[in-house]
Amino acid sequence: MVVSARVEASQIGADILKKGGNAFDAMAATGLALAVAYPFAGNLGGGGFMVYRQSNGDIGSLDFREKAPLSASKNMYLDEQGNVIPDKSTLGSLAIGVPGSVAGMFEVHKKFGKLPMKDILEPVIALAKKGVVVTKNQAERFNYYQSKFRLVNKDSLLFYKVWKEQDTIKYPALAKTLERILKNGEDEFYKGETGKILVKFIQDNGGLITEEDLAKYKAKWRTPITFNYDDLKIISMPPPSSGGICLAQIMKMIEPYDLHEYGHNSLKSIQVITEAERRAYADRSYYLGDPDFVSIPGKALISDAYLKGRMADFSFDKATLSSDVTHGNVEVVESNETTHYSIIDQFGNAVSVTTTLNGAYGSKLYCSELGFFLNNEMDDFSSKPGVPNMFGLIGAEANSIQPEKRMLSSMTPTIIEKNGSLFMSVGTPGGSTIITSVLQTILNVHEYNMTMQEAVDAPRFHHQWLPDEIEMEPHSFDENLIHQLQDKGYNINEKNSPVIGKVDGIMVLSDKTLEGGADHRGDDTAVGF
């Protein structure tokens, strides 16, 4: 089964499985198909993370996160007075990190793939040529973002028209790029004609990325964060994603409380989860960054003793104030728009992949000659300590900009075992709300006995330390409950976003059949056989 943001991508992935390919072949096929069918977030010009669990129980993760260009510098988004220049890290060429997605797909395929790249790329190229039927959501987004595209791009883009549901959009330039990649492999993107066209395009638009930046890019295998919660073993993404560590911190802080007894989205459950989130995000902002550049006290941050102490001042009577919470004290021993897809194959291998351009259509800069958008991932760095990025996240030195450093992420592709067997593959987009959306989906199944689809669809809330408020999906929570929370001192924000996360997951049922959960908040679709 493949669950992704678009039916075309889920179908291409599932067809690869039917052909005898494994979850890793389907990972590359679905990821590349999303670059065609879902340019909002699917990408060649972005990056991401994959967590896997093979049928024999082996686990691992791949980091194909973007990197800061060699000529990037700590204060590159500040003016002479030291203030952050609006839009500089989000819009246009200076916002672009060195893309990792093509390296990621090829690395996964090289290590674990069964089918030849030709079998994986041909259906994707065929889709780009035949075109994609535009959904209602997609037509609205193309129409909404055109003014931003016009602000950033010098050329006239293929997106410039009024879109309606059922229109077809064809991507001939992208098809040609993919054909060259099929012919010449990943070097085509990082060292070949495509790379040269890309670098010239970025530089003509005032960007920093050089041929050397592209040539030096490598995806990296990393050891996942693992921890237990009741009879579950959670396997999630390590830094440079904050996802695994924050998820571990929150789940271990809430484990002593009987959430099942309190009930789903009840006052007490929301309090416990919010307070754990508040404390974990305070640590995130101080301690986490690219492990290749900063020492991260990962073990200490997720240790039982530390986390027990962290919740010691929590009381059901009254909200803790974020102004009273700072990062905890652990010893640092020397020695940070997105889309998620989940796949479980017929052999028992599972992958969980989150990939992103960061904002909607990334930097909005679209290379017409190559047929794809470039990310604005540089905004995931902390441009200035204490100044929030586009997700309101505050960072410190650990996530400051340095050449070749990876920006801290919240992406949380996660796989779960129950009693030693594969149980779930889950993840979501949503910036800073990714971690808490993954958390709630796991809890919905484990604590509140929901099906995979119910778990994905249930209303969500989120707290990230600062701003000190519980973000709630509008029109989803009882007025009474909101007043009770306010009485205890919680600030409630139902206006920030119409949805929180767009979770795609797969659960292995007790008879070993698979149940897909495709979030009703988007066009997400599960395809299985």
Q: Which residues are catalytic?
A: 338
Tokens of residue 346, six digits: 């017929």
Q: Which stretch binds ligand DON (CB under 6 A): 100-108, 136-144, 429-437, 454-462?
A: 429-437
Q: Which stretch binds ligand DON (CB under 6 A): 91-99, 126-134, 183-191, 405-413?
A: 405-413
- Spell out a b/e string for 62-75, using b for 16 or more CB atoms within 10 Å of the CB, else e: bbbbbbbbeebebe
Q: Is 42 a residue that touches ligand DON (CB under 6 A)?
A: no
Binding-site member from 337, 447, 457, 504 for ligand DON (CB under 6 A): 337
Q: Is 285 a residue that touches ligand DON (CB under 6 A)?
A: no
Q: Which stretch binds ligand DON (CB under 6 A): 22-30, 162-170, 336-344, 395-403?
A: 336-344
Q: Is 410 a residue that touches ligand DON (CB under 6 A)?
A: yes
Binding-site member from 430, 516, 517, 522 for ligand DON (CB under 6 A): 430
Verify cis geometry, omega within 30 degrees of 0, for the bond prior to 467.
yes
The total number of residues written for the chain in this structure: 529
Residue closer to ligand DON (CB basis): 434 or 506: 434
Do the annotations mark residue 226 as ligand-binding? Answer: no
Q: Is 380 a residue that touches ligand DON (CB under 6 A)?
A: yes
Q: Is 431 a residue that touches ligand DON (CB under 6 A)?
A: yes
- Using CB under 6 A, which residues numbered 202 to 231 contact ligand DON? none
Q: Is the dihedral of CA 418, 420, 424, 429 positive or negative?
A: positive
Do the annotations mark residue 409 as ligand-binding? Answer: yes
CB 364 within 8 A of CB 39: no
DSSP state of 320: P
Alpha-carbon separation of residue 329 from 241, 300, 336 (angstroms): 21, 10, 20
Q: Which stretch binds ligand DON (CB under 6 A): 143-151, 259-267, 305-313, 407-415?
A: 407-415
Q: Is 437 a residue that touches ligand DON (CB under 6 A)?
A: no
Residue closer to ligand DON (CB basis): 149 or 314: 149
**Backbone torsions φ then ψ of 457, nearest 5 degrees:** -80, -20
User: In one letter, which amino acid is 509?
Assistant: L
Among candidates 432, 422, 451, which has minimal Cα distance to 517? 451
Spatial distance between the Cα atoms of 92 and 95, rounded to a whole number of angstroms: 6
Tokens of residue 96, six digits: 């672009």
CB 349 within 8 A of CB 415: no
Spatial distance between the Cα atoms of 140 and 158, rounded to a whole number of angstroms: 16
Binding-site member from 236, 409, 436, 444 for ligand DON (CB under 6 A): 409
Binding-site member from 11, 356, 440, 444 for ligand DON (CB under 6 A): 356
Q: Residues interacting with ligand DON, by CB under 6 A?
A: 336-338, 356, 358, 377, 380, 409-411, 429-431, 434
Annotated binding site for L-glutamate: 65, 356-358, 380, 409-410, 431
